[in-house]
């Protein structure tokens, strides 16, 4: 069984499902659980801060709240999770960089499983938006468990 499980969270419903799965996996073998959230230039929610310093303060605060909420959720299920707020301050290949930070943290922490949500984008939206989960799968040196978003609609209107 897995002994060190890293769960990447971003506040989305899909990430919430990944957190639930990570907690469930950590319960049985009493594995260690680590929750990681990456903050970046696109993370700020709500009012736009007026200065770069205010911006990063708001981003870190929002990330810390997200991690604390996830840690409390794990604690409610009897899992003592550690957290890490990773920071990325450069524009560019955003998706690739976020996935690299997650994989790098998993490697340093010696995780043997990464749990991450995926929105299951296809076609043009995947090409344009990329996928953090895809980047993690391609570069991780450990097993990766992808958790799909909500149920997909059947083709043909069913």
HSE at residue 155, side-chain half, CA atoms within 13 A, is 0
The whole-angstrom separation of Cα 47 and Cα 24 is 36
Per the structure, the complete domain to which residue 43 belongs is given by 4-157
Provide the CATH number for the domain around residue 115. 3.40.50.620
Along the 158 residues of the chain, how does pLDDT read in single tens digits? 899 999 999 999 999 999 999 999 999 888 999 999 998 765 555 556 567 778 888 888 999 999 999 999 999 999 999 999 998 866 555 555 889 999 999 999 999 999 999 876 555 444 444 588 888 999 999 999 999 876 544 444 43
Number of folded domains in the chain? 1
pTM above threshold 0.85? no
């Amino acid at each position: 069984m897995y002994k060190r499980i890293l769960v990447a969270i971003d506040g989305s419903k899909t990430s919430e499902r990944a957190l639930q799965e990570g907690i469930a996996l950590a319960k049985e073998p009493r594995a260690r659980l680590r929750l990681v959230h990456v903050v970046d230039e696109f993370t700020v929610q709500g009012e736009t801060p007026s200065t770069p310093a205010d911006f990063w303060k708001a981003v870190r605060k929002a990330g810390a709240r997200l991690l604390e909420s996830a840690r409390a959720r794990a604690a409610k299920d009897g899992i003592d999770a550690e957290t890490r707020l990773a920071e990325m301050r450069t524009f560019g290949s955003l998706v690739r960089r976020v996935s690299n930070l997650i994989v790098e943290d998993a490697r340093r922490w010696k995780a043997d499983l990464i749990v991450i949500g995926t929105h299951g984008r296809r076609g043009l939206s995947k090409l344009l938006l990329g996928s953090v989960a895809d980047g993690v799968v391609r570069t991780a040196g450990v097993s990766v468990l992808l958790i799909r978003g909500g149920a997909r609609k059947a083709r043909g209107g069913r």
